[in-house]
Amino acid sequence: MKMQKIKLFLRSEVFIECLVVILISALTYLIFVPKFGYYNDDWYLMYAAKVQGPQVFWGIFSIDRPLRALVMIPAYTIFGSNPIYYNLSAFLFRLIGGFSFFWIVRTLWRDAPRTTFWMSLLFMLYPGFLSQPNAIDYLCHQAGFAAGLFSIALTIKAVEAANRMRKILLYLFSILLGWFYLGQIEWYIGLEFFRLTCVFIIVFRFNESSWHRLIKFFKCSLPVLMIPIVFLAWRLFYFESKRSATDAGLQLSGLLSAPLNFILNFLSTLFDDFLDVLLRAWFLPLYNFSLNMNIQDWLPAIGVVLFILIILRVSSRIMPKNETAASIQELMWRREAITAGVGVVVFGLFPVLLAGRGVDFHNYSRYTLIASIGAALLLPALLNYINNLRLRNLLFSILILSASLTHYANGFAKVRETNLINQFWWQVSWRIPQLEQRTTLVVNYADIALQEDYFVWGPANLIYYPQSMRAEYPQPSIYSLVLNDETIQKILAGEKQDFRNRRSIRTYSNYSNILILTLPSNDSCVQVILGSQPEYSTFEDNRIIQIGMHSEADHILTQDAFHAPPLIPFGAEPEHSWCFYFQKAALARQADNWDEIVSLAGQAFNLGLYPKDQIEWIPFLQAYATKNDLSHLAEIQTKLTNSLVKKQVCEIFKDMESLPSKNRSDAIAILCFE
């Protein structure tokens, strides 16, 4: 009997629809997973766990969301520092949330199987949430989101349950999961509106008077009201947040000080974010990503799109085609879906806006997560008013393909970012054998904005000092500063160190103790700025030029053993292209090893390797000048076509008093003529 039920399920429409969701989601999210690395907050999380073990997460999350440790401790215990397992887990939680949502909408609107399938697929692929590849830091977001949706599904089953004990158990598990998901991310509380809406829809279908249905709604809702009430009581009156972004009192201060202005700004932002969630998410991120991609970058996406189209075509033949007008009118499901969708978008955004944040596809796409439920309800319900089934399917397919292409482009951009960061630090390891403890780095990546200091000291310490300076708490040996106007002013003013205690990790950045590492462009190599002889690429950031003279190369310990970046997260050592020989030559120059530079030049030139950034010729010019190799000087001089580089080269040789006078005059004669 059991086997017969299994066979029937495997042949059922529900199983086929679930299989379609899994296949399309896997094609959308998993194609780049093996190539993802660490992003943003991942750096300090993985550094802290490496130096102090998984228990460090209690201290890290104690200041704002202590229950996140319940996810991260077992995750790190099982997965260690490998990002691929976090990405696979994030995808699994995404599936759990997606199937919970599918369960919910199919229970609410059983007579609209085709549309509820589209709702589920749109929800799974929603393109406004772009932090899926940032799986380590966002694992708690994904786990909480899945738990919240599963909790709502259990609430619905509890309402429908006839057996008293079954009802009690379902409510109990629903409440426990509710507290768990809110403990992960407090602004997910907008999910509670979705929960109550689902209960309302189910209860008001009973064939009773309105008064009896209201009483029944109150009784069914009362147990799950414990979720937000208990959580808010704990959050507002017992727990003291040490982070302003999650401090309820600070979040409400604007409302209390200037209520009218706050409300007007709130409504304006709400309307704009509503459009972001419902409409712009389907084209704006895709357009932004496409600006940095060429036709070749899109070629693999063509295969993905074709495969998805085939799956959609096959599945459309299997799914039921008729959702009769009678059943639609009888259940009024479209009106219910639209009302619920609008409400979930509004209440999903409400706590976010109350905290002074808003939807931003560049940095804050996570704030679309709860509201994405509303978009997944609204769009299919609105499109269902189109009577032409082929046109309706075409529009749904366009939305699915737009979402899949958005996630493909997002994954492609993340892989590019990973490759750039890994290449950067491998070049640093070729150039710098070891860094002096307490060195403060100022780093410039060509195409990546560095918003926090740990984006730099995280990778630097994982390479050079993968142990904490203190046993009792995480303290890196190398610090860093974010390159911005405030940092520049403090460096120029010669200010001393800043102390920071971020989530129990203590750093002591020093504005008078800096070393500058810069990647001026994607065609450049990483360049260590020597304050005694700063050399600047024509692509260099002006902020680096302002402070270059303060960079102290003495922090590089040239006689120490080299430290290779660990395979996780930096990947295998790249092939030795031009930048390898440039880094080795720059290091040899710092040690006045001119013979080594000449040898490196010969090796590189024999392999047909030459710089794309002309400033990188300088170590080789100096080596040839020291050897009085005028033929090579003249040969390189013909390659110097940039006037700013030529001017710097000439000034360097005029000031290069270590050269014998004849060598210097010969070099100047070759390099300093107009």
Concatenated DSSP letters of 242-306? -SGGG-HHHHHHHHHHSHHHHHHHHHHHHHHHHHHHHTGGGTHHHHHHHTT--HHHHHHHHHHHH
Whether residue 496 sits in one domain with residue 633: no
Supply the pLDDT for residue 568. Answer: 95
CA–CA gap between residue 417 and residue 38 (Å, rounded): 10
Assess if residue 546 is contained within a domain. yes
59-107: pLDDT as tens digits: 999 988 999 999 999 999 999 999 999 999 999 999 999 999 999 999 9
Distances (CA, A) of 301 to 298, 402, 412, 417, 420: 5, 11, 10, 19, 22
Residue 480 has φ and ψ, to the nearest 5°, of: -155, 165
Assess if residue 422 is contained within a domain. no
202-215: pLDDT as tens digits: 998 777 777 888 88
pLDDT above 90 as % of the chain: 70
Does 329 score more than 50 pLDDT?
Answer: no
Nearest to 622 by CA among 562, 664, 570: 664
Whether residue 621 sits in one domain with residue 523: no
Give the angle 138-139-140 at the CA atoms, nearest 5°: 90
Element (H, E) at 443: strand 440-444
Supply the pLDDT for residue 211. Answer: 82
Whether residue 656 sits in one domain with residue 514: no
Whether residue 285 sits in one domain with residue 360: yes
Amino acid at site 218: F
Assess if residue 101 is contained within a domain. yes
Whether residue 373 sits in one domain with residue 504: no
pLDDT confidence band for 39 (50 / 70 / 90): very high
Whether residue 401 sits in one domain with residue 264: yes
Residue 349 has φ and ψ, to the nearest 5°, of: -90, -25
Average pLDDT over the chain, rounded to an integer: 90
Neighbour count for residue 39 (Cβ, 10 Å): 22
Supply the pLDDT for residue 313. Answer: 84
Supply the pLDDT for residue 656. Answer: 82
What count of Cα atoms within 13 Å lies in the side-chain half-sphere of residue 31?
A: 23
Element (H, E) at 497: strand 497-502
Rounded to the nearest 10 degrees, how much is the dihedral formed by the CA atoms of 642, 644, 646, 647? 160
Packing angle, helices 13-29 and 83-108, rounded to 10 = 150
Assess if residue 307 is contained within a domain. yes
Supply the pLDDT for residue 326. Answer: 46
Assess if residue 331 is contained within a domain. yes
| Cβ burial 247-285 (10 Å sphere, 16+ → b, else e) | ebeebeebeeeeeeebeeebeebbeebbebbbebbbeeb
The parent domain of residue 455 ranges over: 434-558
Distances (CA, A) of 253 to 3, 6, 244, 356, 449: 61, 57, 12, 11, 31
- Give the DSSP letter string of 53-118: -TTHHHHHHTTT-GGGHHHHHHHHHHHTT-HHHHHHHHHHHHHHHHHHHHHHHHHH-TT-HHHHHH
Identify the weakest region by mean pLDDT among 69-83, 181-195, 246-260, 343-357: 246-260
Q: How many residues does the chain have?
A: 674
Supply the pLDDT for residue 556. Answer: 95
- Give the residue from 558, 593, 619 where a domain finishes: 558
Whether residue 669 sits in one domain with residue 546: no
How many domains in the chain?
3
What count of Cα atoms within 13 Å lies in the side-chain half-sphere of residue 608?
A: 0
Does 499 score more than 60 pLDDT?
Answer: yes
Whether residue 313 sits in one domain with residue 354: yes
Neighbour count for residue 436 (Cβ, 10 Å): 16
Q: What is the mean pLDDT of residues 668-672?
A: 84
578-635: pLDDT as tens digits: 999 999 999 999 999 999 999 999 999 999 999 999 999 999 999 998 888 888 888 9
Supply the pLDDT for residue 519. Answer: 96
- Give the residue from 395, 410, 425 where a domain finishes: 410
Q: What is the mean pLDDT of residues 367-396?
A: 92
Whether residue 229 sits in one domain with residue 372: yes
Contact 540, 593 (CB under 8 A): no
Identify the weakest region by mean pLDDT among 51-65, 248-262, 387-401, 543-557: 248-262
Assess if residue 25 is contained within a domain. yes
Assess if residue 566 is contained within a domain. no
Whether residue 449 sits in one domain with residue 388: no
249-284: pLDDT as tens digits: 555 555 666 677 778 888 899 999 999 999 999 999
DSSP percent split of the chain into helix, strand, coil, nearest 5: 65, 5, 30
Q: Residue 119: which residues within 8 A CB-CB, separation 6 or more?
A: 101, 102, 105, 337, 376, 377, 380
Does 199 score more than 70 pLDDT?
Answer: yes
Greater model confidence, 199 or 209? 199
pLDDT confidence band for 328 (50 / 70 / 90): very low
Nearest to 586 by CA among 535, 658, 645: 535
Contact 558, 591 (CB under 8 A): yes
Q: What is the mean pLDDT of residues 643-657?
A: 86
Contact 184, 72 (CB under 8 A): no
Does 327 score more than 60 pLDDT?
Answer: no
Does 330 score more than 60 pLDDT?
Answer: no
Contact 445, 424 (CB under 8 A): yes
Supply the pLDDT for residue 110. Answer: 87
Assess if residue 387 is contained within a domain. yes
Q: What is the mean pLDDT of residues 10-21?
A: 80
Measured distance between the N- and C-terminal CA atoms of the chain, rounded to whole angstroms = 94
Element (H, E) at 315: helix 295-318
Contact 341, 335 (CB under 8 A): no
Q: What is the mean pLDDT of residues 295-302?
A: 92
104-139: pLDDT as tens digits: 999 999 888 889 999 999 999 999 999 999 999 999
Whether residue 351 sits in one domain with residue 266: yes
User: DSSP secondary-structure letter at 561?
Assistant: P
Element (H, E) at 314: helix 295-318
Whether residue 397 sits in one domain with residue 457: no
- Give the residue from 376, 410, 444 where a domain finishes: 410
